[in-house]
């Protein structure tokens, strides 16, 4: 099986914000994408957030699946976009690994975990490749790849071709939680969260300051809302476990997650979003 045969589907598993961001990019090249969502409440439920739809109905080429085994059948390649606790990540990866056809590589998001650790949970670690995923993905020109010691050369090459077919270039980086981009961006977001928690400034002023004072492409807090508050929280927690306490997420993250302030797709994160139908 050619894993990058455009006629063979890709399976994407993860939370709404990241999974649909990636699914749109893949579907935009004409390749079929199946998305298995792990959000709660499930987007299969009535009143699900509008991120799962495009205006006028479901997205061409993107199919939401409610059963991971069925979704994995026939998939040529799988992307695990999920960032959660180590236990959650392990459970999801193993649930994906079992039904996924043997030749299909698993590209796993390393925001909060190293590729070597993720690979250790799979029956065939050789098919696991670490990737970076920091939304928004559409305009990103370069994607990170990380090889674990057992990652086979053909798996790494398949991951490279996957990104190149999506119009991206690839940079191979060392295997560590956060890789390069997430480590730096999530740390900036964390510092912005501390500033907010300490009452230094309003969320709007923090974001304006970073855009106009040092030319960031977007404010850290609106960026967190776009990535998903849970992704950032678990990414930082994973980095803290592996790399040290300086990455420990600001307490504001846990408070927001408890309150359902999960980001733009939920209608509220660090900011409040008027036009998004969110679960509240």
Q: What are phi and psi of 241, to 5 degrees?
A: -60, -40
* Residue 139 binds to other proteins (criterion: CB under 8 A): yes
- Out of 71, 220, 263, 267, the residue judged to bind other proteins by CB under 8 A: 220
Residues found in the chain? 280
Nearest to 82 by CA among 112, 62, 105: 112
Q: Is 54 helix (H, G, I), strand (E, B) or coil?
A: strand
Q: Rank residues 69 and 246 by Cβ distance to other proteins and give the closer one.
A: 246
Residues 44-83 that bind other proteins (CB under 8 A): none
Strand partners, 34: 11, 63
* Residue 149 binds to other proteins (criterion: CB under 8 A): no
Residue 177 CB, nearest distance to other proteins (Å)?
Answer: 12
Strand partners, 250: none
- Out of 15, 117, 160, 183, the residue judged to bind other proteins by CB under 8 A: 183
* Residue 174 binds to other proteins (criterion: CB under 8 A): yes
Give CA separation, 65 vs 12, 68, 196, 242, in Å: 10, 7, 38, 33
As a whole number of angstroms, the distance between CA 34 and CA 211 comes to 36
- Out of 141, 149, 153, 274, the residue judged to bind other proteins by CB under 8 A: 141
- From 4-12, 50-58, 88-96, 242-250, span contacting other proteins (CB under 8 A): 242-250
* Residue 14 binds to other proteins (criterion: CB under 8 A): no
Residue 67 CB, nearest distance to other proteins (Å)?
Answer: 33
Residue 35 CB, nearest distance to other proteins (Å)?
Answer: 23
- Out of 44, 123, 246, 259, the residue judged to bind other proteins by CB under 8 A: 246
* Residue 132 binds to other proteins (criterion: CB under 8 A): yes
Strand boundaries in the chain, DSSP class E: 10-14, 33-37, 62-64, 77-80, 106-109, 128-131, 142-146, 169-172
- C-alpha torsion angle, residues 161, 149, 90, 245 (rounded to 10): -110
* Residue 116 binds to other proteins (criterion: CB under 8 A): no
Look at the block and give the residue holding tokens 């090889």: 147
Contacts with other proteins by CB under 8 A lie at: 132, 134, 139-144, 169, 171, 173-174, 176, 180-181, 183-185, 187-188, 190-192, 195, 198-202, 205-206, 208-210, 212-218, 220, 244-247
């Amino acid at each position: 099986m050619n894993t990058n045969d455009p006629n063979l589907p890709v399976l994407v598993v993860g939370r709404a914000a990241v999974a649909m961001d990636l699914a749109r990019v893949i579907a935009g090249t004409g390749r079929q994408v199946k998305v298995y969502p792990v959000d709660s409440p499930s987007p299969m439920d009535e009143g699900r957030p509008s991120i799962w739809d495009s205006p006028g109905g479901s997205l061409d080429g993107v199919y939401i699946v409610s059963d991971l085994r069925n979704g994995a059948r026939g998939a040529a390649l799988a992307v695990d976009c999920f960032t959660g606790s180590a236990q959650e990540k392990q459970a999801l990866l193993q649930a994906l690994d079992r039904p996924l056809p043997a030749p299909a590589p698993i590209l796993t998001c390393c925001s909060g975990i190293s590729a070597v650790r993720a690979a250790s949970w799979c029956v065939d670690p050789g098919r696991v490749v670490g990737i970076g995923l920091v939304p928004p993905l559409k305009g990103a020109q370069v994607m990170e790849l990380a090889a674990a010691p057992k990652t086979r050369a053909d798996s790494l090459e398949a991951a490279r071709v996957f990104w190149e077919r999506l119009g991206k270039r690839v940079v191979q980086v060392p295997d560590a939680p956060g890789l390069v981009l997430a480590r730096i961006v999530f740390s900036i977001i964390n510092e912005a969260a501390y500033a907010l928690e300490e009452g230094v400034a309003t969320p709007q002023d923090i974001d304006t300051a970073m855009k106009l004072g040092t030319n960031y492409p977007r404010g850290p807090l609106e960026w967190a809302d776009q990535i998903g508050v849970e992704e950032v929280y678990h990414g930082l927690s994973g980095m803290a476990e592996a790399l040290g306490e300086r990455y420990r997420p600001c307490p504001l993250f846990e408070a927001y997650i408890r309150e359902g302030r999960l980001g733009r797709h939920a209608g509220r994160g660090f900011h409040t979003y008027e036009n998004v139908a969110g679960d509240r």
